[in-house]
Amino acid sequence: MPAPGPLQLAVEEYLGHLGVERGLAANTLGAYRRDLQRYVSFLDTSGVVDVGGVREEHVSGFVAALRSGSDGRPALTASSAARAASAVRGWHRFLLEEGRAGDDPASAVRPPLPPRRLPRALDVAEVARLLEAAGAADPPGGLRDRALLELLYGSGARISEAVGLDVDDVVAAALGEDGVVRLRGKGSKERVVPVGSYARAAVEEYLVRARPALVAAGRGTPALFVNARGGRLSRQSAWAVLQSAAVRARLGSRVSPHTLRHSFATHLLAGGADVRVVQELLGHASVATTQVYTLVTADSLREVHAATHPRALR
């Protein structure tokens, strides 16, 4: 196997920085590696052998190749191409800051803009149907499923955050009047989120009446949500729980792993919550990510206005 060249060594240095200094998750690092490997291959084909030989036209050419597939690789969607372009921009910025390059050839290259998709949210009545349907399963699974979905909707947690919870992270939320849950989000960042009375009651009932029976099937685990074999519930199994409840609630394909999180944010904003408070609750690094929910709320307000105001009818 040939020794790695200067470009590959620079990529490995950057990935090491992301893993150690910024604490990115393994899945995120894997995506960065794939994107940068494709970029290095593109540079190799273009005759570039080290970082000093990269020019702005190389970067813009790569971004164009991501969308067209002209580099012999599959063409990417706008959102995936934007992610890859972001990885390239971050790499070049790192090289400049570390003194490994004299300039940043990617600074003026803008990633493709993905189409703006508004998140899909359930209305309050649909959420209630979904939660009731989750609890309709046979015990102890039904109590677990209801607690899981109540916690997802009550805290705005991602499914991966919910299944990553240990009992110690949530016991105060289940038993205390003003309970909170400690969530570990992207980049292992922690945030503390209040949990309402419905979620607290569902989690407490699950802890008392269902979890002991589930844990007994395994070798013991600190995990809050446990599968039938006594181990930690996986993200895929949690998704299956959500899908099964959606089918029973006659909501069908409208429900995805992020549906309850979207609904949580949309309902808070519709109720008058400040967008920056919702940003903190969701764990978004930028308020711009959260502001997409304000568009959903504005659309809902327009629909209500058009349907009910006597001078809005056309």
Q: Which of 38, 92, 261, 267 is catalytic?
A: 261
Q: Which of 293, 309, 311, 314 is catalytic?
A: 293
Sorted by sequence, the CB contacts under 8 Å of residue 215 that are 6+ apart come out as 221, 226, 230
Task: Verify whether residue 186 is a known catalytic residue.
Answer: yes
Q: Which of 129, 211, 267, 284 is catalytic?
A: 284
Task: Verify whether residue 284 is a known catalytic residue.
Answer: yes
Count Cα neighbours of 246 within 13 Å in the Cβ-side half-sphere. 16
Q: Which of 120, 182, 248, 258 is catalytic?
A: 258
Task: Verify whether residue 17 is a known catalytic residue.
Answer: no
Residue 49: count other Cβ atoms within 10 Å of its Cβ. Answer: 12
Q: Which of 38, 144, 146, 158 is catalytic?
A: 158
Task: Verify whether residue 83 is a known catalytic residue.
Answer: no
Task: Verify whether residue 258 is a known catalytic residue.
Answer: yes
Rounded distance between C-alpha atoms, residue 176 and residue 174, angstroms? 6
> In which residue are the tokens 């998709």 written?
117
Task: Verify whether residue 116 is a known catalytic residue.
Answer: no
Please answer whether residues 181 and 193 qualify as being in contact, where contact means their C-beta atoms are separated by less than 8 angstroms: yes
Q: Which of 186, 235, 248, 254 is catalytic?
A: 186
Active site residues: 158, 186, 258, 261, 284, 293
